Structure 1
């Protein structure tokens, strides 16, 4: 597993038993997506700065999907997709950057801040993307920041806003809650979410159902059928076959 040294901004590699405590980033990348070969950009520097401040001297490493995974390697990409949920779950902290939310200009008037934040969260792209579903549910400690790096809150303080935007109930936003949800309920969380590739509609749901399967990019909707087959090996809950459970690709 590659991690970013928060002090040097250099990548270092660790094996499972040696992975140090680290902070993990959740973010909806746009045209500025960072790759393994393009470190040191503003999003990464901002993340590293906040991670360092949150963890003090005890948290010296961070993880960002696009620059800590070599996506040119199909084997590494497959391993990453099947390990992603575990990585987010094992991270000491998860920092969520909401690139389309900004609270700083409204600081000082609690009512305006509250109303503006509610509206922005309901419209935030992060709460409608496919991969961010597991990034919301998996981590033990999550903190949300706006586009300028201003702290917004955590899942407890933002519970009602996040629940309204995602249709995941208050109780289900906690590990003990979402893990108890049945198959149909988990599928319903994906109904309004979007992915860039059609296959990702299935891949980001793997860990929610404790399923394993290799990604085959280019297979399209066949990926969702394979996911259902994997789930049915452990359950005969046939309502999962309903096509309305699927999200959409954009």
Structure 2
């Protein structure tokens, strides 16, 4: 990174202006959150201005200073407190609510102590306050960030708030390279690693080679200790249907000894490897390719190691529709019905579902109660794919109401996206029960699960942040 400059330049052909360390007394106050402010400006964002040769000056760093964030938080607390007292005042001693109930409650009401009635009213007020507090805070922060970005654009600045990608972790030198093939040569081929691979060894796909050099390379290790890798969970025979044009560039391949399963789409493998690299994970394990399918000894040994492989991975990427193609949220799949699903979902420290998605980054959640139902959609390849945290998506699939929004430049709340969530099954009772059971299994042990929870409607109005 170049040296930090004290000047802000709107465009290369415009004159730079010196940013004063202290604003003059007659200077117009700077709007809160304006990028480019000095560290001494307590009301604005603490930003770094970085020069780039031959290009625009770029504002990097947070759009909101820590002091501004604290102010926003205090504003939210004041709003919540005001809302709480207003609700409590309206509820009063519960007389208005009790009067509206059936006559059967009259005797109970008359005998109830006054303090109990007031406590009942307080509980209702607290429940209402907690229901919208998270949504309120998210809206305040999102709106302030959006407006700060707009002010930066009006000032002619290009704002970058995302962190620079971290370098991939260094992995140990493999004991062997068992496969190296250019992607252009894989279509309609049958891959056989038995000639180079040794039984009872761990083998992994090099994601950087696949993505950046368009080469499928499988490397071998005696152990996975200290090696950062991701795994794939999928069904042997997946979704059958038309494949989008963007997923047929490199075609498919089969593996010797496992020809009865679906072919592996090179393009799907590319999307998963790109997702792994986005998470700073350099290697990938796919049982179809990383097990010697023609060796009984290796298959038995690998199955014995299966739980360990999933438990020690940095991320588990789930392909609910199998390896042939990526499926949309609206497409029913059989992934949740598999016998291996519970182990592959619960054993990893983190699991994400990779889907066909065309709407960019976004978020989702129950608009009435975001806690426990919210999540984000992270784009992998623009207009083609994304991944969602498994626990968030499963919770959404059994929630009463979920809203999806996609990032949009003209509004901080994003644009609404209509989507039907059927990826873990259709409307059948068995599919929903599997999803609910998995949702419970993925929750921390101190979280409660309502056994009387009812299945939500399948159609959601989606909104992504």
Classify the TM-score, shorter chain.
0.5 to 0.7
Moved over 6 A (4+): none
State the number of aligned residues: 159
Q: Does the aligned pair in 1 maintain the 2:232–2:317 contact within 8 Å?
A: yes
Distance in 1 (alpha carbons) for counterparts of 2:438 and 2:264: 35
Q: Pick closer, same or farther for the CA change 1:75–1:126 going to 2, 3 Å.
A: same
Q: Does 1:79 align with 2:286?
A: no
**Pick from 354, 369, 382: which aligns with 1:145?**
354
Q: Does the aligned pair in 1 maintain the 2:342–2:438 contact within 8 Å?
A: no
Deviations 1:16-66, CA, capped at 9 Å, x for gaps: 25552111111113287842689xx75344234433344348422111001
Please tell me whether Structure 1 or Structure 2 has the larger radius of gyration of its CA atoms. 2
- Which residue number in structure 2 is paired with residue 13 of structure 1? 220
Q: Does 1:157 align with 2:364?
A: no
Distance in 1 (alpha carbons) for counterparts of 2:319 and 2:339: 16
Report deviation, 1:129. 1.5
> Would you tell me which structure has more helix in proportion to its own residues?
1
Q: Secondary structure at the match of 1:158?
A: helix
Distance in 1 (alpha carbons) for counterparts of 2:385 and 2:288: 23
Moved more, 164-173 or 77-86: 164-173
- Which residue number in structure 2 is paired with residue 168 of structure 1? 437
The equivalences for 1:22-33 within 5 A come to 22-30=229-237
Distance in 1 (alpha carbons) for counterparts of 2:290 and 2:224: 18
Q: Secondary structure at the match of 1:10?
A: strand
Q: Does 1:4 align with 2:197?
A: no
TM-score (norm 2): 0.30
**Pick from 131, 135, 140: which aligns with 2:340?**
131
Q: Pick closer, same or farther for the CA change 1:34–1:19 going to 2, 3 Å.
A: farther
Q: Pick closer, same or farther for the CA change 1:33–1:85 going to 2, 3 Å.
A: farther
Distance in 1 (alpha carbons) for counterparts of 2:356 and 2:433: 19
- Which residue number in structure 2 is paired with residue 35 of structure 1? 255
Gaps of 5+ in 1: 104-116, 178-250
Q: Pick closer, same or farther for the CA change 1:28–1:17 going to 2, 3 Å.
A: closer
Q: Pick closer, same or farther for the CA change 1:57–1:95 going to 2, 3 Å.
A: closer
Give the number of the structure with larger relative contact order, counting CA–CA contacts within 8 Å between residues 6 or more apart.
1
Distance in 2 (alpha carbons) for counterparts of 1:90 and 1:124: 27
Report deviation, 1:82. 1.3
- Which residue number in structure 1 is paired with residue 288 of structure 2? 66
